[in-house]
Structure 1
Amino acid sequence: MPSAIVTGATGILGREIVFELSKNREQWQKVHALSRSKKEDYPPNVTHNYIDLTSSVDGMAKDLQNVRAEYIFFAAYLQKDSEQENWDANGAMLSNFLQALLKTDTIKGVKRILLVTGAKQYGVHLGAPKNPMTESDPWLTGEQWPPNFYYNQQTILHKFCKEHGKEWVVTYPNDVIGTATGNFMNLATATALYALVSKELEQYLVFPGSPDFYTRFDSFTSSKLHAEFCAWAALEPRAGNQAFNVVNGDVESWQNLWPKVASYFGLKVKPDQFRKRQVDEKAHITDMAGKLGLVQSDVQTSQSSSSPLAEQSPISSRAEELGLQGHGITQQSNIDQQIDLIKWSNRDDVKNAWLNVAEREGLDKTTFEKATWGFLGFVLGRNYDLVMSSSKARKIGWRGYRDTWESLEEVFNELERAKVLPKSE
């Protein structure tokens, strides 16, 4: 029966891979969950093993001494301050881990290695990509593009597998909807906290991101669906030595999702939410100051922000062949926030509103400061479409699907059970 090693087992994607494999004990007899700490109560067929993926080959080999498996799921990720640092750190983690498998002879029994990456593959962090994004799209290499650590990791993996006669699979999820214990780098948690504070401030739920993106299209990935795909792709013969987009299967927009978010938290969307609103908002917040125990000097109005991305959008690399030379989409893209969420989260009235909610509902007060407001601001602030094709996986038999709103609602429910959020009314 197959056995597995999962690195990054406490992350938003690695965690779900562990639990997905553990469901089928007849198929996956043994699952090794590798991380620097144990944050979950695992089923009987899952063993937690300590590992520091930033250590040396010898250090990791010592941690892996008694760990054996046929399938490797590498879902670890380390965020650094620059793209070059991301290239170096994440490349070293994967390379040293693979060399440690050699050093312990674990590699002899390995059949396939699955690497989890993401839509940065297509340069979505740099600006507008070609839509729909397909796995055959060329990599963005050359001096005009910053280093992309996913390219480094895939090059390392391809070379290693070729040298040692192993198969590989790579996944490209996008805008992941999920949760992980103590990990708030996900859009669901921050979105929910934003809604809760808006409700406490007796406001409408105003979309804080780009007015353009509100009506554009996005492809999301349920962390549970991604885990199901990983379990399938590890064993599917036709998936070997292939990379796949892994998205829910629907194409969504916030004009459809945002009213549902508002309704879930007992709010309404402001009918004219994209009109200039600072004057009205300042008057409202001043009115709320007394209710929240603030003096007027503590009250700060939220501010919009606009941040340029790469000088040329990723689609510009193919402008000639696509007939798009001179088209506006090839020019610089922006992250536009009509409410800059980092500034918003630092407002005194917002902080006090959160503390009121946390105290009243018995929640962890530190949850708010752990939320990744910059990440949510980026996700909502883009001014271009992100559509990813699932055709390649479907052509070889993948049939997985998730409704994006239902995925988001499910995560809200999980966060309530974990007492990260109060119980919805």
Structure 2
Amino acid sequence: MPSAIVTGATGILGREIVSELSQHRQQWPTIHALSRSKKEDYADNVIHNHIDLQSSPDEMANDLKNVRGEYIFFAAYLAQDKEEDAWEVNGRMLSNFLSALEKTGAVSDVKRIILVCGCKQYGVHLGMPKQPMTEDLPWLTDTSKWPPNFYYNQQNILHDFCKKHNKEWVATYPNDVIGFALGNFMNLSSAIALYTLVSKELSGNEGVTFPGSPAFYTKFDSFTSSKLHAEFCAWAALEPRAANQAFNVVNGDVESWQNLWPKVVEYFGGRVKPDQFKDAYTSGGVGSSLIKKVVGKEDMSSTMEMAPQPPISVVADEIGIQGTPALEKNAVEQHVDLIKWSQRADVKAAWERLAEREGLDKSSFDKATWAFTGFALGRNFDLVISMSKAREFGWTGYRDTWASLRDVFEQMRGAGYLPKA
């Protein structure tokens, strides 16, 4: 029976991989969960091992001396402010970990390594890519146009390692992950929930405003349930056809915030402000002075330009769009800038009241990923990600995005992070 090693075992994606594998004891009798700390209890077929992926190969080899597995799921990630630092730090973590496996001799047992990446692969953080996003799109390696992409560095490190040792690999590209992990407030779901709850506390019967781009509100987005991603990883580890392939992993439904946002707000007992974007449009766009009427005494909006050239420009000649608006730079348009909003005195006071009344962890508000959530909701272009390749290789998994988001809210309620219904 196969054994597994999972790095980043306390993260949103790594935690679910451990959970998914542990539920199939006959298939996965031994699972090594690697992380710097242990935040929750595991099933009895899961062995927690301490590891600091920022340490040297020798130090890691000492931590891994009793760890062996046939299938490795590398789901660790360290966010960095600069893309150059992300390239260096995340590449080094993977490289040192693989070197440690060589030092302990555990590499001889390895059959396949699954590397968790993301749809930054396509430059969704830089501007509009070619749609739908498919795994055969060219990498954005021209550093005169775009910053270095640490996923490229990690995949090249993995490819070289697997070629050297005659091992198999799989890379996954999830997007806008919906998931939950104990003690981890750094996720999209937490920030959305906290924003909605506090906004409802402040607005009363006026309604809750979508904080992202008015343009993005009616465009398409693609999401990944962390549970679905874990199921995919378990499938990809053992599916012969999946060897040495990269796959998009999204829920497979068609979604937009015009559909999701009313459901989110209603879930928390509120309603969407009927004219939430009125002044944004009548005043000529997000960022103008009239936006003050919508969101408070001071201008809470913001606009930030993305890369000078959107990723779609790499295929502009091929698809015949030279000289069209598609090649214009994109922007992150926050109708309500979440960093500004989270620092407002009335917002902080409302959160204090709410947390005190409901017995919630007050620290969760400051730990929420306001910058990332503002970015994710503020892009002004579609995010359509194809699952055709995975389907062709035999994957049939699917999740409803609203159901995924609702289930995470329920988990957060159960853990005491959100008010009871």
Measured against the shorter chain, the TM-score band is: over 0.9
Moved more, 7-16 or 320-329: 320-329
1:372 to 2:359 alignment: no
Alpha-carbon distance in structure 2 between the residues aligned to 1:301 and 1:370:
24
Alpha-carbon distance in structure 2 between the residues aligned to 1:275 and 1:80:
36
Residue of structure 1 in register with 2:284 after alignment: none
- One-letter code aligned to 1:17: I
Alpha-carbon distance in structure 1 between the residues aligned to 2:182 and 2:88:
27
Q: Please list, as runs of the form range in 1=range in 2, the aligned pairs for 1:16-415 lying within 5 A after superposition.
A: 16-142=16-142, 143-201=144-202, 202=204, 203-276=206-279, 278=291, 280-281=293-294, 301-415=298-412
2:213–2:377 Cα contact (<8 Å) kept: yes
Offset of 1:301 from its aligned partner?
A: 3.4
- One-letter code aligned to 1:342: I
* Partner SS, residue 147 of structure 2: coil
* Cα deviation 1:355-379 (Å, max 9, x = unaligned): 1010001111111111010010001
Alpha-carbon distance in structure 2 between the residues aligned to 1:257 and 1:281:
21
Alpha-carbon distance in structure 2 between the residues aligned to 1:130 and 1:281:
34
Alpha-carbon distance in structure 2 between the residues aligned to 1:251 and 1:329:
22
1:302–1:344 Cα contact (<8 Å) kept: no
Offset of 1:186 from its aligned partner?
A: 1.2
Alpha-carbon distance in structure 1 between the residues aligned to 2:305 and 2:186:
22
- Sort the Cα spacing of 1:191 and 1:302 in 2 relative to 1 into closer, same or farther, 3 A: farther
Offset of 1:262 from its aligned partner?
A: 1.2
- Sort the Cα spacing of 1:102 and 1:279 in 2 relative to 1 into closer, same or farther, 3 A: closer
Q: Please identify runs of 4+ aligned residues in structure 1 that moved more than 6 A.
A: none
1:7 to 2:7 alignment: yes
Residue of structure 2 in register with 1:420 after alignment: 417
Offset of 1:153 from its aligned partner?
A: 0.3
2:208–2:271 Cα contact (<8 Å) kept: yes
* Partner SS, residue 272 of structure 1: coil
Question: Number of residue pairs matched?
Answer: 408
Alpha-carbon distance in structure 1 between the residues aligned to 2:275 and 2:294:
13
2:216–2:380 Cα contact (<8 Å) kept: yes
- One-letter code aligned to 1:154: Q
1:336–1:381 Cα contact (<8 Å) kept: yes
* Cα deviation 1:323-355 (Å, max 9, x = unaligned): 111111211110000110000000010000001
Alpha-carbon distance in structure 2 between the residues aligned to 1:241 and 1:366:
42
Alpha-carbon distance in structure 2 between the residues aligned to 1:16 and 1:134:
25
* Partner SS, residue 47 of structure 1: strand
* Cα deviation 1:234-289 (Å, max 9, x = unaligned): 0000000000000000121000001111110111111111012645457xx6xxxx
Alpha-carbon distance in structure 1 between the residues aligned to 2:137 and 2:222:
17
Residue of structure 2 in register with 1:293 after alignment: none
* Cα deviation 1:32-86 (Å, max 9, x = unaligned): 0000000011000001000000000100000000001100000000111211111
Alpha-carbon distance in structure 1 between the residues aligned to 2:371 and 2:112:
36
Moved more, 261-270 or 210-219: 261-270
2:292–2:299 Cα contact (<8 Å) kept: no
- Sort the Cα spacing of 1:91 and 1:67 in 2 relative to 1 into closer, same or farther, 3 A: same
Alpha-carbon distance in structure 2 between the residues aligned to 1:379 and 1:148:
18
- One-letter code aligned to 2:276: Q
- One-letter code aligned to 1:349: D
Residue of structure 1 in register with 2:282 after alignment: none
TM-score normalised according to structure 2 size: 0.95
- One-letter code aligned to 1:390: M
Residue of structure 1 in register with 2:287 after alignment: none
- One-letter code aligned to 1:134: T
1:129–1:315 Cα contact (<8 Å) kept: yes
Alpha-carbon distance in structure 1 between the residues aligned to 2:165 and 2:299:
56
Alpha-carbon distance in structure 2 between the residues aligned to 1:279 and 1:314:
33
Alpha-carbon distance in structure 2 between the residues aligned to 1:190 and 1:104:
41
Residue of structure 2 in register with 1:295 after alignment: none
Alpha-carbon distance in structure 1 between the residues aligned to 2:268 and 2:103:
52
Indicate the percent of aligned positions where both proteins have the same amino acid. 68
Alpha-carbon distance in structure 2 between the residues aligned to 1:145 and 1:221:
25
Offset of 1:406 from its aligned partner?
A: 0.2
TM-score normalised according to structure 1 size: 0.95
2:119–2:175 Cα contact (<8 Å) kept: yes
Alpha-carbon distance in structure 2 between the residues aligned to 1:113 and 1:321:
34
> Which segments of 5 or more consecutive residues in structure 2 lack a partner in the other structure?
280-289
* Cα deviation 1:364-420 (Å, max 9, x = unaligned): 111111101001000100000111110111111100000000000000000000000
